[in-house]
Structures are given as structure tokens and as C-alpha cells.
Structure 1
Amino acid sequence: MYLHRRATRPTRPTRPTSSTRRLWAGAVTAALALSLTGAAQASAADLNNAKNAGFESGLTNWTCTAGSGTTVSSPVHGGAAALKATPAGQDNAQCTQTVAVKPNSTYTLSAWVQGGYTYLGVTGTGTTDVSTWTPDSSSWRQLSTSFTTGSSTTSVTLYTHGWYGQAAYYADDVSVYGPDGGGGGDPAPTVPGAPSGLTVSGTTSSSVSLAWNAVSGATGYSVYRGGTKVTAVTGTSATVTGLAASTSYGFQVTATNAAGESAKSATVTGTTSASGGGGGGALPKHAVTGYWQNFDNGATVQRISDVSSQYDIIAVAFADATTTPGAVTFNLDSAGLGGYTVDQFKADVKAKRAAGKKVVVSIGGQNGTVSVSDGTSATNFANSVYALMQTYGFDGVDIDLENGLNATYMSQALRSLSAKAGASLILTMAPQTIDMQSTSNAYFQTALNVKDILTVVNMQYYNSGSMLGCDGKVYSQGSVDFLTALACIQLEGGLAPSQVGLGLPASTRGAGSGYVSPTVVDNALDCLAKGTNCGSFKPSRTYPDLRGAMTWSTNWDATAGNAWSAAVGAHVHGLP
């Protein structure tokens, strides 16, 4: 969260910069939206017209600019090899192949990619050239689009490339499925085998989490409950939600690719726990979060009892790291807060909770250096946060680590904390905009990993310059479009609407940039929840369960006469 014992900080660099947007736009012209769905089922006469599509024969049939491409044995999506291409300087690591095609025919283009920003496309179609792309990804993800050839088109140029200044990308199992162009091609995939190793990795009162072993040649997996398909995923884990408490369910998994679906795996039984609730407790459907400053930086000094009643969640900023890896503590700044004592603080927390409010301790901030990077530090984190909850009466924890986090071990720590605190745990997060641009980012991964116990993610829509929206367009902060198009990434990326909030500064002094009037916040909430008061971007659907909004901070709000909470708070609580 902005301002940890200091008044200013530099604005975060914008990505992409304005000087690269023209190049960006040219690279993603006709098919900018990322497709996470598999390629369409090929007909009996169709084949993969690409040669050496899995890079099993090195770079045979491929040409990469400036020596940027090579083949590697790990990571691979299928087979024993994959392409690795590394952008450098003004070279975007483009690798191409000329593919024979049939005129007046439709083809499905797809590839599995991982690593840095990756683009996939074709030129020379004789009609409309197409491309698609994805931001950086730490796991394999499929890009897919389609094109139609012109009346005299007999070949197209297939390409992949990365982006300037970004990390190396990996590509594997490229395909140009459609009628035989006369050049032959790689054989079509075969139906994969049934998954093995299916286990129950976790349960709550309303969900069961599953994990299984990867299947060679599979591009996705389907999860069945009691013989009925309930979800489809591309990875080797899934969480099935909406279940009844204290109930046993049988689960199976199948593997899929363009050739079809495997037989079902062996059945495993998962039993939900007895107590319900999950993250959120007795929170209202629409809630307002405010950060309370445990320090004096020029904003109004407050006690917890001074915080406006419009705030449903009060995040106490911040806990402090200790010398024990992963562990945190809380030190009330009594001197900076006019002699506010620990006993008074505890009593005020208790009174807020008695009034139906939630009070959580926030971990991190601009200068926070808490590191949870292994099993020991994960345990230390969970134990120390739980101890703070018992000591001060906190309802839970807020994760506001702006200097990076490890998704694996932070997820482990939060699940351990949940096991101690129970279903009433309040778990909130406040990532920066860059942290939620892609589901491959560690913050987004963490949120999805703990989705069944997560209360709300209040992304910071400030100090970020321009960012990509879910439609692939670049939006500048300070507008309704910036708020709605970036929120859409989370809403369509796996979080429930009730787990998404809009984080904004309470005044022009609350952050270095990104302040918008309460009217803009209210319009964005209306656009997302009701489809009204939108800007140029309008979501494809509405999200009436949207959780609400957050601000930095209750102190800056008080400095401005509580204008933010009076306007936005009333609007949030008035949403249907």
C-alpha cells in the first residue's frame, strides 16, 4: 500500500510505454484477445500442415531472427523438445515457417507457450492476417485463432515472437489444422491416456481441491463429480466449489486434446468439512475497505474508534518483519499517534467488531520486506499472524507485499493460517496493477490458489501509469475505463465477483498519481455491477455480486472531511 512512513514515492514505470504502443498495436491487429480454449475438433480430412511442430528435430523447417532460437529439453509441453527464443535489443525473437495451405480454406492456428510475452500469427493469407498473444506465463498456456485463405493462396508464413525487453519465451506443439495443402505435415494427435495419481489436496465446507499427474499429449483436463462434468482446466489441479457441508463426493478426471477425451481416471472421494462460511464471515454483500495508518505522515492522526462507520473492513497498516524468517509482529506507534495505548487500541478493535466491522492486520506496504519463500518461513508466517489475531483481536490478514511474493509458499502459509483461524478468517489482498495483469503473475496465482478462503482482492488502481485491459487495449489511469477494463481481468481470470474490489486513493495527497473523484469510482462500480455509466469500455456481462471498493487511507479520507467514504461508501452499500 502506498505511503509506509513516507509521503511520496516514484510512479511505477508504465508497460508498455507510449513509444511502443504503435508497435504493440501492429503486432496484435486482428486477434488481440487471448483465447484459452482448445483448437476446434479437426475433421477426418484435416491435418496439421506445420512441419516439425513439436521441435523434435531441432529448428528444422524453422528460421529464427538474429540467432534468437534454440531447442531445449525443459520445459516442454509434449514430446522431448520445445522452442526457446530470446528477445535482445531491437530483435523480438521471431521464428517463422512457410506452411503449404489450400486456397479458399479455413485453418485453426494454435500453439502452446510459456515464459515471456508471446505472439502467434500468420501472414500472407490472401485475406485477413491474424495473430494472438499472451502476457508472461509461468506455465503452459494455449494460444489459438483461425484464418481463411484467399482464392490463390497456396502458402502462409507462420510466426511466433516475443517482445522487446521481455524474457525468453517457449513454444511447443504448434499446429495449422485444416485441409492438406499438399506439403504433408505432422501426424494428428492421438487420444491421451487416462490421468493417474488423482488425490484430494484440500477441502473446505463448500469445496474440494484435486490434483493429478500430467498426461503426455494432453492439452486439457475435465473434472467429473458423480459422473457429471463440472469443470475443465488446462493444468493438473482444480477446485470444485458449491458443495454442501459434511458431504462426501466422488471425483474423476479425464485428459483431452484435439483428438478426443481419455477414459476416466480412478475415483477419489472428497468430504467437505462441517462448518461453513469461508472467507468473508458476516460481511455485507457489498463492502468498503479502508487502510488505517499506524503512523503519522501528515494525514489526520486517528484512533481506530475515529474511523468512519462507512468502512466495513479496516486494514491496520502495517505489521513489521522480525528477525525470524517469515514471522511478523505488530508495534503500535503510540508516540506518533498522540499517546494511543495498546489497551485503548485493543478496546477500539473490539468495539468495531462488536459493531459488525472487520479489522485485519496488513502485511507489507511500500517498504514491507516480509519474505515467505520456503516451508519454514510459511509456518512462521502463519503462526505469527495467528498470534497477532489472538493478541489484538484481528479478524484476519491483508497481504500487501509490493516487493514480490512466492505463490507456492504464501499459499501454503495462508492455508495453514486458515486451518488455525477457521471459517471466519478474513483474507484480503492489495496487489499493484502490474501484479494482476496476468494469471501467471505470482499475486494472481496466490489469489487463485486460495480462492476458497479468499475474501476480497482490492487491487491498487494508482501509481501505475497505463496498463492493458482485458480487451488487450491500453488504458491510462484516472478514468472509468481504466478501472473497469482492468477489473475485468480479475473477473474473467478466475476470481468471483464477490472477491473483487476497486482500490483508489482517498484524496490527491493519498498517492503520487491515480486519484479520481468519487463520482468516477461510483460510475465504475455501476458499470461493472449494473452495466450503466460505462465509458468506452463496456464489459461483456455484468457482475452484480462485485464486492465494492477500497481506499488508501481512512486517515487521508478524514483529512478531506471523509468525502470519499461518504460518497463511495453510500454508493457501495446502495448497490443491489
Structure 2
Amino acid sequence: MDRTTRSRRWIGGALALAVGTGLSITGMTGTAQAADINNAKNGGFENGLTNWTCSGASGVNVSTPVRTGASALKATPGGLDNARCSQTVAVQPNSTYTLSAWTQGGYAYLGATGTGTTDVSTWTPGGGSAWTQLQTTFRTGATTKSVTVYTHGWYGTPAYHVDDVSVFGPDGGGGGEEPVTVPPTPTGFAAGTIGHTSVSLNWAAAARATGYNVYRDGVKVQAVSGTSATVTGLTADTAYTFQVTATNTAGESARTAPPLPVRTAKEPITPDVPKHAVTGYWQNFNNGATVQKLRDVQNAYDIIAVAFADSTNTPGEITFNLSSALGYANVAEFKADIQAKRAAGKSVIISIGGELGNVTINSDASATAFANSAWALMQEYGFNGVDVDLEHGINSTYLTKALRQLSAKAGPKMVLTMAPQTIDMQSTSTEYFKLALNVKDILTVVNTQYYNSGAMLGCDGKVYSQGSVDFLTGLACIMLEGGLDASQVGLGVPASPRGAGGGYVAPSVVNNALDCLTKLTNCGAFKPAKAYPNLRGAMTWSTNWDALAGNAWSNAVGPHVKSLP
């Protein structure tokens, strides 16, 4: 095993932990001297448990998992034994040392006692399969010549693993490990995801490295602590070369050679949404409607909302799982369909929410998680926007932050649509209406779902029954008079009677409502005070139900939308 020399950058002068109660960091910073060594012995457990004492025979030497070398420590708490393993280390008085170890598995604590000043410890709850570094510093007293460093777990928790323990500082004379030397050049350097403005890079850990420098075309562009990096701010369809070096306090390794050539992807096709557009939801599931691949979506649809994204255990974060019921051989085929639709001038967006789905965005952290994960999906799949179809309540303040963060990443051509229920758009005081107004400058269209609601008030204060031209025009009028631009208003209706529990209207009624709002013709009892010729268009749930009904909706409404003034 390489006798690794882990990070020697100070993280604080004193790091104190009341066991099981919390962690506080205070103090100073400093820089290790060239003569500093790792004073711990057998810190990688390559010689079994030599130099270590474990309580109650709780520790054993194992060959897996290990972080480096061939061995590591596994210690298992049991009963009233917290599986404490310790070593007495020779140190110099009035000196500062950095104590470090890598842990995996259950709760793990790392500390030092007998320092002659303030004893220290730090901990991690563990629980994952990745190795986690614990690190703290301590200063020895005026007469201190040895300290006891230790690790332990916690009562009733699983076994923990430890590797690469180090106590860096002045040589205590106890025969510790050798002084720090420059790490070797990293190996396994490769490119991961290649976008049109970014490239992800990864490599294998280098022995003794505490950090890595990334070079683009010979110029250092990043310094990272892990074994991966994403270089952003690149130009689409452009050739670059990349290299990486390993660093520690002794210096920097040679760069990986030869330089890794990477060409960024071409700028994705981002179609402009037509002045008058037809939106259709495409079902990523089989509920009795026609099962479609994305390539089969009818040509009448200008905006295709993929329904739906899935939430994760992280508040605000979304992901997407392609249904196996759709007949795709793999995800790559689905992505190719997205690109083909976009090449044909269509916008393909990812929808969040729906009747059964929900994404909670009610804090700054969840807003950022949403923006980051939505942007990641846009980059991975080629979606050029998002649709907000949250039907279980929203927080307009934080959802506004989330959408603005996403817009900042995606740029001005991001397509942003919404599909609130009728009750959500009855007043500008509702959270959905406030959200629409908050993001009006980046909003494409709000396609209110004019179905499954029962009777509702129109903008004239009269009650209209769903399923009528007056219902569509009287309720759309609320948005038109409430501050949204006509280009941001669309009529959402079912594609067939099976597409919704109530509120289906024949395509001819949809067309009459469009004429009434844009030209003041074919109105019912309600007639708007003025025409809105820039009205965006109509939306339907769903392209699949439309297909099952012989495309009656798109064949009738699609051409009519295109003929609007």
C-alpha cells in the first residue's frame, strides 16, 4: 500500500465535538512545513492491526472495502462497546498537527486525546458506500510528547471502516512515515458527458494527492479536491484539449499525457414557438390511450410536454424514468426522437406534476435543487423547456426563484409553460396566478385546464358551466384582464370524452372560443370587451387520447389555430 499523505491544509485551529450532539469549528489557519511527516504508524492497516488497540476485539483487518492499498480496518460496535481503536503517536511540544482518516459504513468518530491543550474529535453519520474524509487539527502542550489518536463507532450502529489514518506535523521522533513527496500523475483520465458548452472529466485517485488541477489547452482552469470536474463556459462545436495533475503540499505532478482531445457538441436546435401554437401532453405511461413513441406524436402539435418528471427524495429535485411500456429499445432511441422533433421545428419540454405527481419547492434549497436537476435533464435528454402542472398547491415565492434560476442556466429561448386548474386562475391573488405574473418576462404560455372543475366564475362575475364556449371564453378573459399578455394565454381541453372526467367540448366549440377571443366572432352569451388577436392557442390532454379518437382534435383544432390572425 502507498503510505498516503492526505490533505495538509488546515481546516481550523480547533474543532470540538460533544459526542453525539454537534460540531463547532473555530480558530486559525496555517500551512504545514516541508519537514512535516505522517507520525501515525500503519495508518493504512497494511500490517494488520499492528500499532493499534481495539476495544473488546472489535476491530479486524479486511481486504474489502479498502480506499487504497490492500487492507483497511473494520470495527463493529456491540452492546456497550463502541468499537474504539487507538494508537499512541509521538509528537513534539507546542506544535500543530492535522489528524485525518477516511471512513465508510456506520457512524465513525476520529479524535485525539492527551494533547496537553484542547482534545479534539469529529464524526460522520456514514450510511453510504463512498469513502468520506474526516479531518481536524490539534496543538500540543508545552510538555506534550505523545497523544492518543482514535476512531470509534456508536452504540447499536453498523460496523465502520477506516483507512489511511494520518497525523501530519513535525516529526515526533517515533518513527512515523516518510515526509510528503509529490504525488504521481493521475491515471484513467477520460471525458464523460460532452455538452455544447461543457465537458465533464474524471480520473483515478493518485496516491498522496490532496487535490487536482485541470488544464484546458495548457491553461489551468480549475482546482478540485475530488476525482472529477466539469469545465463550463465552452463554445459549441469546438475542439479543446484537457489535462489533469495531482497536487499536495510537496508540489504538483506532471500533467497527463498526451492531452485529451474533446470536441464540444453542436449547438442544439432550439425552435421558436409559433405565434399561435398547439400544445399536447405525451404520456410516458399506458393508461388505455394509444401508446405512442414520441416520433408518432401528430404533426399538429408545436409544443410537446412529456408527462411526467419524477420527484426524488431530495425536495425540489426531479428526474425522468422512461416507461418500459412504450416499446423503446433504450433511452438513446427516445433521445433521438426528441432531437428529431426539435429538428422538425417542435418544442419538447418536460412536465412536472400531474394528478398523481408532486414536486415540493418551498425553500431556497429546494428551488436550487429543482433548477439544477431540471437543467441536467434538459442537457441530458435535449428538452428545451419545462411545464409546470403542479396540482397539489404551490409556493409562488420559491417556485419563482426556481424558474428564474433555471432560466439563467438555459437562456432566453427556454420554453416555459403552465397548466393550472381553473380554480388556480380565478384571481390574481392565487399562488398560481402570482407565479405566472412573477415570471411573465420568461413565460411562454399558461394553458389553464378548463375541465374537471364544475361551474366557475367568468371575468364578468357570472357563473358558467364547463363544457361550453362561454366557460372557455369567460374564464380565459380573467387571465387576459389580469395582467398576462394574450400571447401567454391558451385554452386547455380534453382531446376526447375519455381524456377527462368532465368538461369535454367538441373541437368545433374550441374553435368557436378561439374565434370569439381573437376576432369577437362565434361567441356565446359572453363576449369579451375587446379582441385578443395574439392569443397563443390551445392545449389538449393528451396526444395519446387524441390518437385513440382518430386524431379528431388535432385535425380540427390544429389547422384552426394556425389560421388565427
Determine the structure 2 residue equivalent to 1:48.
Answer: 38
Instruction: Give the deviation of 1:486 after TM superposition.
Output: 6.3
Instruction: Give the deviation of 1:249 after TM superposition.
Output: 1.4
Equivalences for 1:459-470 in 2 at 5 Å?
460-461=359-360
**Counterparts of 1:97 and 1:180, CA distance in 2:** 16
Q: Which amino acid aligns with 1:44?
A: A
**Counterparts of 2:124 and 2:203, CA distance in 1:** 28
Q: Which amino acid aligns with 1:160?
A: T
1:565 correspondence with 2:432? yes
TM-score normalized by the length of structure 1 = 0.52
Q: Which amino acid aligns with 2:41?
A: K
**Counterparts of 2:87 and 2:346, CA distance in 1:** 54
Within the candidate set 205, 213, 223, 1:232 is matched to 223
Q: Which amino acid aligns with 1:111?
A: A
Query: SS at the partner of 2:245?
Result: strand
Q: Which amino acid aligns with 2:397?
A: D
Determine the structure 1 residue equivalent to 2:329.
Answer: 380
Within the candidate set 155, 169, 176, 1:178 is matched to 169
Instruction: Give the deviation of 1:54 after TM superposition.
Output: 1.3
Instruction: Give the deviation of 1:235 after TM superposition.
Output: 4.7
Determine the structure 2 residue equivalent to 1:522.
Answer: 397
Report if the CA contact (8 A) 1:31-1:145 is conserved.
Answer: no
Report if the CA contact (8 A) 1:194-1:255 is conserved.
Answer: yes
Q: Which amino acid aligns with 2:137?
A: S
**Counterparts of 2:338 and 2:53, CA distance in 1:** 59
**Counterparts of 1:138 and 1:205, CA distance in 2:** 32
Deviation string, structure 1 residues 321-373 (Cα, Å, up to 9, x no partner): xxxxxxxxx32456xxxxxx889x9999988x746x8545446999xxx999x
1:29 correspondence with 2:23? yes
**Counterparts of 1:423 and 1:190, CA distance in 2:** 57
Determine the structure 1 residue equivalent to 2:364.
Answer: 484
**Counterparts of 1:115 and 1:81, CA distance in 2:** 15
Within the candidate set 60, 63, 77, 1:73 is matched to 63
Q: Which amino acid aligns with 2:244?
A: V
Gaps of 5+ in 1: 1-22, 33-38, 285-303, 307-313, 320-329, 335-340, 373-377, 396-419, 431-457, 463-479, 531-541, 548-552
Gaps of 5+ in 2: 1-16, 314-319, 379-386, 411-417, 444-565
Within the candidate set 190, 194, 197, 2:181 is matched to 190
Deviation string, structure 1 residues 533-572 (Cα, Å, up to 9, x no partner): xxxxxxxxx999489xxxxx967x6566673422344445
Instruction: Give the deviation of 1:169 after TM superposition.
Output: 3.2
**Counterparts of 2:345 and 2:41, CA distance in 1:** 55
1:144 correspondence with 2:144? no
Q: 1:384 to 1:565 in 2, by over 3 A?
A: farther
**Counterparts of 2:287 and 2:128, CA distance in 1:** 40
Equivalences for 1:196-235 in 2 at 5 Å?
196-235=187-226
Highest Rg: 1 or 2? 2
Instruction: Give the deviation of 1:89 after TM superposition.
Output: 6.1
Instruction: Give the deviation of 1:191 after TM superposition.
Output: 1.9
Equivalences for 1:54-453 in 2 at 5 Å?
54-87=44-77, 92-125=82-115, 126-127=117-118, 129-133=120-124, 135-151=126-142, 153-162=144-153, 167-273=158-264, 275-277=266-268, 319=284, 330-333=285-288, 354=302, 358-362=305-309, 380-382=329-331, 385-386=334-335
Report if the CA contact (8 A) 1:205-1:243 is conserved.
Answer: yes
Structure number with greater CO (CA < 8 Å, separation at least 6) is 1
TM-score normalized by the length of structure 2 = 0.53
**Counterparts of 1:99 and 1:134, CA distance in 2:** 26
Aligned residues between the structures: 391
**Counterparts of 2:138 and 2:248, CA distance in 1:** 21
**Counterparts of 2:215 and 2:262, CA distance in 1:** 15
Instruction: Give the deviation of 1:40 after TM superposition.
Output: 7.5
Report if the CA contact (8 A) 2:45-2:61 is conserved.
Answer: yes
Q: Which amino acid aligns with 1:26?
A: G
Q: 1:194 to 1:153 in 2, by over 3 A?
A: same
Deviation string, structure 1 residues 16-69 (Cα, Å, up to 9, x no partner): xxxxxxx9973542249xxxxxx9863133222222211122122323344432
Determine the structure 2 residue equivalent to 1:5.
Answer: none
Q: Which amino acid aligns with 1:175?
A: S
Q: Which amino acid aligns with 1:183?
A: G
